[in-house]
C-alpha cells in the first residue's frame, strides 16, 4: 500500500524534515566549494537552504549570508547550528515560500543548490526573479541534479531534472547584462544516506552580472 504524502509544499517539506531528514550533512555542497571559494565575500542569498550547511560555510568565509526555506523545522536547526558555531551575526535564516516572492536585492551571490522538489515548485520563475536580484558584479550559481541519485526513491517521482539549456532559459541571462562563466553537466562522487557511493551528474550554471549594466 502506498503511503500518502502531503502535496502542499509547506506541509510536504515540514513532514520531510520532521520524519525523514532529521539531521544536517554537516558540510557544504561540493559544488558550492568548487565554484564559490574564490568569490569575494559580500551579501549572499541561498534558496532552499535546508539545515544551513551552505549558508554557514559562506558565513565562515566572511559572507553576510541569508538562507531561505519553506520549512521552519529545517531552519530552526540551521539557526541553532549558527549559534553553536558563533556565526549568528553573519548567518540569517528566513522562513518563506519563494513561490510567493523573494527578498529585495541586491546580492553579490545568489545560490540555488539542488533546489528541486517532488511537489509544486515554480522553479524557473523563482530563478528568473533571483537573477533580477543580483547586484552588478555579483554572481548566481545554480546547481541541480541532472538525474535522480540512485537513493532518491519517491523524492524523484515528480521532481524536475533540468538541462543546461532549460537552466539558461529559466535564468534568461541577456548577454549584454550577463557573462555566463560556466554552463555544463559535471560529474561528482556522491554519498547516499546509508553511506553508498555513486557517480552523480549535476547541471551547473555560474553567471556574473556585468558591472556596466
Ligand X SMILES: C[S@@+](CC[C@H](N)C(=O)[O-])C[C@H]1O[C@@H](n2cnc3c(N)ncnc32)[C@H](O)[C@@H]1O
For ligand X, the binding residues (CB under 6 A) are: 9, 13, 29, 48, 50, 68-71, 74, 97-99, 113-117, 121
CB 106, min distance to ligand X, A? 20
Which CB sits closer to ligand X, 108 or 117?
117
Residue-wise burial string across 39-51, b where 16 or more C-beta atoms lie within 10 A, e elsewhere: bebbbbbbbbbbb
Q: What residues form DSSP beta bridges with 112?
A: 47, 142
CB 135, min distance to ligand X, A? 22
CB 17, min distance to ligand X, A? 7
Which CB sits closer to ligand X, 97 or 187?
97
Residue nearest to ligand X (CB): 48
CB 34, min distance to ligand X, A? 14
Which CB sits closer to ligand X, 117 or 203?
117
Amino acid at each position: 500500500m502506498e503511503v500518502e504524502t502531503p502535496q502542499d509544499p509547506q506541509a510536504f517539506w515540514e513532514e520531510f524534515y520532521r520524519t525523514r531528514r532529521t539531521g544536517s550533512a554537516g558540510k557544504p555542497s561540493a559544488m558550492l566549494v568548487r565554484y564559490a571559494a574564490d568569490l569575494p565575500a559580500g551579501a549572499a542569498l541561498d534558496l532552499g537552504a535546508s539545515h544551513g550547511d551552505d549558508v554557514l560555510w559562506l558565513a565562515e568565509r566572511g559572507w553576510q549570508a541569508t538562507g531561505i526555506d519553506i520549512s521552519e523545522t529545517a531552519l530552526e536547526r540551521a539557526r541553532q547550528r549558527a549559534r553553536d558555531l558563533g556565526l549568528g551575526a553573519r548567518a540569517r535564516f528566513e522562513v518563506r515560500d519563494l513561490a510567493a516572492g523573494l527578498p529585495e536585492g541586491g546580492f553579490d551571490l545568489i545560490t540555488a543548490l539542488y533546489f528541486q522538489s517532488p511537489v509544486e515548485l515554480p522553479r524557473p520563475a523563482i530563478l528568473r526573479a533571483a537573477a533580477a536580484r543580483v547586484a552588478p558584479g555579483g554572481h548566481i550559481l545554480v546547481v541541480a541534479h541532472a538525474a535522480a541519485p540512485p537513493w532518491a526513491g519517491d523524492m524523484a517521482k515528480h521532481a524536475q531534472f533540468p538541462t543546461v539549456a532549460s537552466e539558461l532559459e529559466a535564468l534568461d541571462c541577456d548577454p549584454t547584462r550577463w557573462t555566463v562563466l560556466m554552463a555544463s553537466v559535471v560529474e561528482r562522487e556522491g554519498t547516499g544516506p546509508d553511506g553508498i557511493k555513486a557517480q552523480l551528474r549535476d547541471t551547473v550554471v555560474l553567471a556574473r552580472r556585468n558591472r556596466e549594466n
